[in-house]
């Protein structure tokens, strides 16, 4: 299997963290091209035009970070990163989605609508121009502040985001916070539980995947 | 188990379609309140402040439509609505997510940023005001047109969205298109494969769930 990757981008990193936690060694193919765009041969191969994408040995393709992680979890169940029973899996699923929608999407609202290199590319995956919308920058900043505080509260009772075990919800949360950092937005100093968690996750080898 | 529902909203409907296809009969509790807002006692019970939410018999809560569907699929595997093997599950996962991001989210961009009742509520789930952003209405319209055309192409090879079986990807696509209809945006006449599929899904009893 091959994982098509854009090393600098936040979404592929959450899948690489997942691979590192499982100690899975896939062939990684870098597809970033000129002007911070995907390489044209990759877009031709995978018109969905997003990363990451998992290509099976027979050429079949799986896009979407979480679809890839769930597929790999079925093939390689240990260590479990999506929960150990139906209820835990639902909690991981819910918190991963919250981290993505409230963290990753908000960080994307700020970054994609300000960076010059992304003029006309306000959203990923579109071949036609998507204009930048300045009002989304402020909305993204507000949402990130709420995201930090919600996840700080969640960590009051738990060591990790979705409970007492490291899961893919931690990967998504960690990469969302890194992505917010690109816009110089960081965890507020009074979110001490989230800062404690960030230090703990940053110390895992997978954080450098 | 109880499903907390807002009957008129698009996200709970995809879960009700899922329940109907599985012939699962849960207790449904309507939580819409005055001024098109969630009932305050529901928000107190579930501060995530979104619908649907599944409450287990012991009171534990599962939010997020897909987390609920995956949980119910584990408990009640027949008929399979998330795919019949690892690869199919990945395809369903990917297409469901595309339908949500490109269809449901785009329809939400148009509706939430125009409807008077949603002034200050440009996104669901936030207790603090999220201003409406007029530029998102046009972006949402453009995205919906691309969504219709992408899903029309996908149906060239398949009877249903993620392959030859009805899955949750069909529920999400169907409800997204209904939601677009609230803003009087409909499948273009030249998307004949998507129109054929829509007629077929609309004829299933679950379409009236």
So what's the pLDDT on residue A35? 85
Average pLDDT on A101-127 reads: 92
**CATH code where residue A185 lies:** 1.20.1050.10
Are B45 and B104 found together in one domain? no
Pull the structure tokens for residue A147: 């995201």
Q: pLDDT digit string (tens) for A171-201?
A: 999 999 999 999 999 999 999 999 999 999 9
The chain B residue lying nearest A70, using CA atoms, is B90
So what's the pLDDT on residue A155? 98
Are A19 and A63 found together in one domain? yes
Residue B26: pLDDT band by 50, 70, 90 thresholds?
very high
Residue B50: pLDDT band by 50, 70, 90 thresholds?
very high
Pull the structure tokens for residue A71: 């597929």
Out of B74, B91, B139, whose CB is closest to A86? B74
So what's the pLDDT on residue A124? 85
Mutate to test the interface with A, among B15, B55, B56, B67 (most CBs of A within 10 A): B67
- Compute CA distances A20 → A24, A95, B129, B192, whole Å: 6, 21, 39, 45
Q: Which helix (H) or strand (E) holds A28?
A: strand A27-30
Are B50 and B95 found together in one domain? no
CA distance A177 to A99: 9
The angle formed by the CA atoms of residues B53, B58 and B62, to the nearest 5 degrees, is: 25
> How many domains does chain A contain in total?
2
Average pLDDT on B84-95 reads: 97
Q: Which helix (H) or strand (E) holds A14?
A: helix A10-22
So what's the pLDDT on residue A88? 97
Are B201 and B99 found together in one domain? yes
Task: Select from B10, B3, B21, B1 the least CA-distant residue to B168.
Answer: B21
Judged by average pLDDT, the poorest of A114-118, A202-206, B42-46, B90-94 is A114-118
So what's the pLDDT on residue B20? 98
Contact of B77 with chain A, judged by CB distance below 8 Å, is answered with no
Average pLDDT on B70-99 reads: 98
Task: Say if residue B117's pLDDT is above 90.
Answer: no
Strand partners, B2: B27, B55
So what's the pLDDT on residue A117? 86
**Are A87 and B133 a contacting pair at CB < 8 A?**
no
Q: Distance between alpha carbon B162 and the CA centroid of its chain, in Å? A: 16
Q: Which of chain B's residues have a Cβ under 8 Å away from the Cβ of A143?
A: 123, 126, 130
So what's the pLDDT on residue B93? 97
Residue B125 resides in a domain: yes
% of chain A residues with pLDDT over 70: 100
B23 versus A36: which is more confidently predicted? B23
Last residue of a domain, one of B75, B102, B132: B75
So what's the pLDDT on residue A128? 86
Domain extent, residue A201, equals: 86-208
**Are A67 and B135 a contacting pair at CB < 8 A?**
no
Average pLDDT on B57-69 reads: 97
CA distance A62 to B87: 8
Average pLDDT on A125-132 reads: 88
Residue B80 resides in a domain: no
So what's the pLDDT on residue B113? 95
Q: Determine the distance in angstroms separating the CA of B181 from the nearest CA of chain A, rounded to an integer.
A: 22
Residue B81 resides in a domain: no
Mutate to test the interface with A, among B90, B131, B136 (most CBs of A within 10 A): B90
Residue A36: pLDDT band by 50, 70, 90 thresholds?
confident
The phi, psi pair for A62, rounded to 5°, reads -125, 120
Average pLDDT on A81-98 reads: 97
Q: Where are the beta strands (DSSP E) in B31-163?
A: 53-55, 61-63
Q: Which of chain A's residues have a Cβ under 8 Å away from the Cβ of B163?
A: none
């Amino acid at each position: 299997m091959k994982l098509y990757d854009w090393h600098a981008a936040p979404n592929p990193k959450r899948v690489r963290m997942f691979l590192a936690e499982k100690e899975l060694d896939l062939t990684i193919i870098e597809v970033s091209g000129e002007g911070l765009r995907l390489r044209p041969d990759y877009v031709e191969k995978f018109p969905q035009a997003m990363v990451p994408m998992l290509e099976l040995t027979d050429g079949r393709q799986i896009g979407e970070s979480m679809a890839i992680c769930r597929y790999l979890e079925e093939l390689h169940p240990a260590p479990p990163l999506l929960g150990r029973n139906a209820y835990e899996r639902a909690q991981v699923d819910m918190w991963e989605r919250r981290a993505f929608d409230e963290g990753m999407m908000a960080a994307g609202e700020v970054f994609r609508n300000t960076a010059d290199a992304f003029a006309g590319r306000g959203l990923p995956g579109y071949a036609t121009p998507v204009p930048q919308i300045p009002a989304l920058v402020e909305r993204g900043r507000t949402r990130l502040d709420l995201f930090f505080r919600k996840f700080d509260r969640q960590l009051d009772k738990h060591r990790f985001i979705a409970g007492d075990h490291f899961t893919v919800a931690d990967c998504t949360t960690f990469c969302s916070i890194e992505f917010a950092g690109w816009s110089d937005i960081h965890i507020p100093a009074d979110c001490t539980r989230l800062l404690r968690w960030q230090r703990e996750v940053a110390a895992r080898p997978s954080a450098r995947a």
